[in-house]
Structures are given as C-alpha cells and as structure tokens.
Amino acid sequence: METKRKFWIDNLRWVTVLLVLLYHVVYFYNNKGVFGGVGGFGDGPQYQDVLMYILYPWFMPLLFILAGISSRYALENRDGKTWFKSRTRKLLVPATIGLFVFQWMVGYFNTHVSGTDVLAAVPQPFKYLIWSVNGIGPLWFIQDLWLFSLILLIIRKIDKNDKLLNWCGKLGEMKSGMVVIILLVVLFWLGEKTLIMNPRAQSADGLYNLYKPVFYFIGFMMGYLVFSHEKVQEMLSKFWAPMMIFAVIAGAVLVITTFGQTNTTPQYMASPLNCLYGYLMCLALMGWFKAKFDKTNAFAGYMTRSSFGFYVVHYLVIASLGYMMKYHTTLPPVAIYLILTVAVFTLSPAIYEVLRRIPFLRWAILGEKK
C-alpha cells in the first residue's frame, strides 16, 4: 500500500537546508575556534556567531531523522535493491565522482584558508587530487547517509517481519508514549558520548568527530523505527507548542551560559544541556510542521525537488566569494555578511539550475537522472 505524501516532511527538510546555508555564512567567519572557514574579524565578540549555537545542536540530527522516516516510506513502495541503487546514484555518486568534477574547486579554497597557498610546492596533478579530497565539505552528510542506507538494508534482512519497527510503533498507542519519546533524549546523549573526547592532533580523530557516525545513525534509526509511525507523528503534533517552549528555554540557557566557547568540541556536544536542547527542537519542529505545514504549493514543490541540489553546490559560493571578500577587499564585515548571504541564496539555485540541464554534470554532481 502506497503511503500518502507527507508534505510536512518535505517542507521541514527544505527549510532546514536553507538554515544550513545561512549557518555556513556565519560559520565561515566565526572566531569561536570552530574548525573551517577563514576566521573572524578580530578577537572581539561576534554576536552574529550566536546563530551557530542556536542551529548546530539540532539541524543535522533533524535531517538524519527525516531521512530515516523517508527511508521507511520509500521501502514500502520499492524493493530494497531498487531503493539502494537509487540511493547510490543520489548520494554516493556526488560524494565520490562529484568531488573530481565540481567539489575540487571547494578544495582549492579550503587550502587557501590562511590567505596563502599551502600547497605551493606540490606538483599540479597532486594539487588537483588534494583539492578533490579537501572538497568534501558538507558532503560528509550524504556519505554518512549512504552508509546508513546500506546498514538499514542489513537490519531489514535480519528483521524480516519488522518486529522491531512494529514494537516501536506501539509508542503512539501508549498513554505515556510522549513521556517515553522525550526520554529517548538519552539515546542522543549516548550517541554524542561516542565521540573521541580528546582527539589526537595529526590523526583521523577529528574526521571521526565530524562524521559522528554512531550519533547520526541513532537519529536515522529513530526516524525509521519511531517517528515514521503516523500515531507518533500525531502525538508530536498535539504537543508541539509546549515542546517548543521548553526547547527555547533550554536553548536560551545553553547560549547564555556557553557563548564564546567552541561549540563543536566533543565535550560541548556531549553536554546534557546541548543534547536536551537539540532533541527537544527536533521533536518540536516535527510536531509543528506536522500540525501546521502538511500542505504544498508551487514554491514548496520546487524547493522539495531542488533543495538537495542547493545543498550540494552551495559551499562553493561561500568558499570562493567568502574567501575573496575577506582577503582581497576592504569591505566592512556587515557588507561582507550581507553580500555573502544574498549570494548563497541566489547563486546556489542558479548554479543548480545550470548543472541539472547538462546530462553528465547532472549525474556526476547532483546524482540526478533526466
């Protein structure tokens, strides 16, 4: 039986993707010690960086939860082999072949973050290979997602009768179901605790902490097993307002008490308050969009189809224009932020629209068929 399209999931996904674009504008110039970007504008307070503290605890976990929900619905309508083949084209192709076709340009600017070419002495062919690997950028998300899709098929092979899925669905029928769902925040915390708390310099520890495979896989499976059930979604929609209030309170306390700290350290991310805020925001937003935004129109339909492409190409706009304005202009910071924000929300769709019209590039960079 085909599942009716849930527009609230589409809408929440593309809205979150737009927030990712905005986040990266601020992140690129942060002076809080967060790895990446080109640094801030002096050592004084940059209050615009507060956006990182507000968004980072929940926007990527939410995307993985939504991906888990969508995976369950997709597998109801397609066999696992066909679904995984489409996942490979959509996710793995852009995150591998696409690196050498498009993302190497991101890698070029990533190797110039200090304003100089750190690969100046490296032969040109090797520079291209290094640029390509360094161009992964935000594509770690789709690499994780492809791996999780593969693991999901293995789990489904083991649990052929969906006993685990059906058992989790009972939460929507329990009087205390909402309490149990909130208590699942413990899984968020345990997931964050799997990070390497004291990453070693010159090792892959930092890369592991970026991909956070256990933490994000927990979110993905929570989406598949728990939040894909209609009764659970209805429960969230009834309680979205109080959950949003508690989430905002937790977020405000988190920001006020930690602003100035590096908010991507393992210790910060694994703190109970960070986990509580992030998880409550995921619940509140899912409930809110289920209750109020389970509908579509022409613009929402376009964003549903295109937001993935925006995500894939947007960081080139930020890395290139953001780098050039920082090191090759004397523009004031306010102007730089405004220009880069407008650019990422206009040039990313423009680049996407060009690429999707060229057959090979559409496949290699965006993972799309005609």
pLDDT band at 2 (very low <50, low <70, confident <90, very high): low
Q: pTM to 2 decimals?
A: 0.96
Instruction: Please give the average per-residue pLDDT across 153-165, as a whole number.
Output: 95
CA distances from 94 to 101, 288, 319, 343, 349 (A): 9, 32, 18, 23, 17
Q: What's the CA angle centered on 318, arms 315 and 319, to 5 degrees?
A: 85
| Dist. CA 229–CA 314, nearest whole Å | 33
Q: Tens of pLDDT along 216-238?
A: 999 999 999 999 999 999 999 99
Neighbours of 331 (CB within 10 A): 13
* Helix, strand, coil share of the chain (percent; to 5): 75, 0, 25
Name the least confident of 114-128, 231-245, 303-317, 328-342: 114-128
The pLDDT of residue 115: 66
- Token match 């040039």: residue? 347
The pLDDT of residue 113: 77
Domain ranges of the chain: 7-366
Mean pLDDT computed over every residue of the chain: 95
The pLDDT of residue 201: 83
- 282 and 233 Cβ atoms separated by less than 8 Å: no
Neighbours of 145 (CB within 10 A): 23
Q: Tens of pLDDT along 56-109?
A: 999 999 999 999 999 999 999 899 999 999 999 999 999 999 999 999 999 999
CA distances from 172 to 155, 162, 235 (A): 22, 17, 7
Instruction: Please give the average per-residue pLDDT across 137-143, as a whole number.
Output: 96
The pLDDT of residue 268: 97
| Dist. CA 306–CA 142, nearest whole Å | 15
- pLDDT above 80: residue 116: no
| Dist. CA 201–CA 84, nearest whole Å | 36
- pLDDT above 50: residue 1: no
Q: Tens of pLDDT along 280-299?
A: 999 999 999 999 999 999 99
- pLDDT above 90: residue 53: yes
The pLDDT of residue 3: 61
Instruction: Please give the average per-residue pLDDT across 14-34, as a whole number.
Output: 96
For residue 287, count CB atoms less than 10 angstroms from its CB and return exposed for 0-12, middle for 13-18, buried for 19 or more: buried
Of residues 84 and 38, more confidence is placed in 84
Neighbours of 3 (CB within 10 A): 13
Q: Tens of pLDDT along 327-361?
A: 999 999 999 999 999 999 999 999 999 999 999 99
Helices (H), 29-101: 50-55, 59-77, 80-87, 97-98
